[in-house]
Structure 1
């Protein structure tokens, strides 16, 4: 259910890697139930912004509020925050010695203290949600890349996050596997999962995005609704980028 108060507020965030200014005064808000897609050329700061939200990187300026609390304060424990903010990366990083179901069960059992039977029931339910109900007993090396990424999505969902971050989740996949992951992500958006997605998959943006954010050289250049963006009501620079990835 959507509310007027942002679930996430990024306010004037700055970030450096050495002499490189990778995020410059970035401001963005995301309401509950929204899907925001971040696009832009490589090196524009998209993935770094996600990593700052998940406290995998620190910031040097500005603030990040999640559920009205400043998560950049020193007393915030990253591992507790990550129970509420799930993240799916380019590489699946599944445990090779565990089955798909066991990969999904691990964090709820060890972090949340859920018993094995409950964790297993939840894992089977999530495997159905990501459209691979028959792969519970398969090991990662028995799965395609698209299936492994869907297990990784199910693993993140097992913690019942309030916000999902997707960092180019299809970039390591063969073209025929991209659609199956995009379909699952679109399902989650349709169900009201709040998410920020770094991707070049404009088919997903057209289907699922409420807002599209264009970044370049560490700055947020454009922030438009889906209809505005694809309707041409954006800057020439954003339009050029869109033309490049669509043709």
Structure 2
């Protein structure tokens, strides 16, 4: 009789274990632990100053953590800045304010990193950029410059630029906070499409419509701590602690 070989447990794609971060005497992250599985979309919410953006910046090593451990694909991340470029090849990040190069066209903004970092030919980078502009629904803006397109379109270019590095994880830091209300949905739709296609995503946002639509789990942070880590069903179904419930009531009403 054949024996069943036990399957080896799969580790999360991204593991944060007890991360701490100080700015001088102020502790902005306090023993933060979080796992993100491959293909999962995790939304982080919380009041201003709760440490949400700092947590993302520690994941992408824009800010070095002062304590704790970070694992990516089961391997401990060395906080040595000499090796940080290797991590950022696999972890894309989209910021609040687009960060596009004003002197480059839309397509050139997207082509730059694949050529400079990945060694891709201009022809291949051009083809990839056109493909990604189609994915973010603005292929007609390829030859425009950032100041010639709307904020929502600029943010979609920023998403396409991050995707051009073929990341395994996408980090979004309040990607709609600088947008006018009518432009928010076009960015949220693109993000939701990527989540539906299986892109692993860690998203700091107050857009509860996106959370309801695309999140697998929702994390609530307050005063540098992770207070809640719940499934979308539990979170919106009310199975959360009173501090989380109070914040949710405030932003929904």
Counterparts of 1:36 and 1:138 in 2: how far apart (Å)?
33
Q: Does 1:227 align with 2:233?
A: yes
Distance, in Å, in 2 between the alignment partners of 1:32 and 1:199 is: 20
Q: Unaligned 5+ residue runs, structure 1? A: none
Moved over 4 A (4+): none
C-alpha deviation, 1:132, in angstroms: 0.5
Alpha-carbon distance, 1:74 to partner:
2.8
1:99-114 aligned within 5 A: 99-114=105-120
The answer (yes or no) to whether the contact 1:228–1:234 under 8 Å persists in 2 is yes
Report the counterpart of residue 16 of structure 1 in structure 2. 22
Q: Tell me which residue corresponds to 1:77.
A: 83
1:29 to 15, 30, 35: 35
- Rounded to whole Å, the distance in 1 between the matches of 2:65 and 2:156 is 30
Corresponding pairs, count: 245
1:125 aligns with 2:131: yes
Counterpart-to-counterpart distance in 2, 1:130 and 1:48: 27
Alpha-carbon separation, structure 2, partners of 1:76 and 1:194? 26
CA contact (8 A) 1:209 1:226 kept: yes
Question: Is 2:165 aligned against 1:165?
Answer: no
**Structure 1 match to 2:13:** 7
Question: Secondary structure of the equivalent of 2:102?
Answer: coil
> For the residues of structure 2 that align with 1:75 and 1:88, how far apart are their CA atoms?
20
1:73: how far off?
Answer: 4.0
Checking the alignment, whether the CA contact within 8 Å between 2:64 and 2:79 is kept in structure 1 is no
Is it true that 1:174 corresponds to 2:180 in the alignment?
Answer: yes
- 1:157-193 CA-to-partner distances (Å, cap 9, x unmatched) read 0000000000000000000000000000000000000
| Structure 2: gaps of 5 or more residues | 1-8
CA offset digits 1:25-59 (Å, max 9, x no partner): 00000000000000000000000000000001111
Contact 1:26-1:220 at 8 Å conserved across structures: yes
Structure 2 residue 193 is matched with structure 1 residue 150: no
**From 243, 248, 253, the counterpart of 1:242:** 248
Instruction: Identify which range, 91-100 or 121-130, moves more after superposition.
Output: 91-100
- Cα RMSD (Å): 1.1
Is residue 212 of structure 1 aligned with residue 218 of structure 2? yes
Select the structure of larger CA radius of gyration: 2
Partner of 2:197: 191
Question: How far, CA to CA, are the matches of 1:9 and 1:65 in structure 2?
Answer: 5
After TM superposition, give the deviation of residue 4 of structure 1 in Å: 3.6
Q: Partners of 1:97 and 1:151 in 2: how far apart? A: 14
The two structures have a TM-score, normalised by structure 2, of 0.95
Which residues in structure 2 correspond to 1:43-82 (within 5 Å)? 43-74=49-80, 77-82=83-88
Question: Equivalents in 2 of 1:75, 1:91: separation in Å?
Answer: 24
Name the residue aligned to 2:98.
92
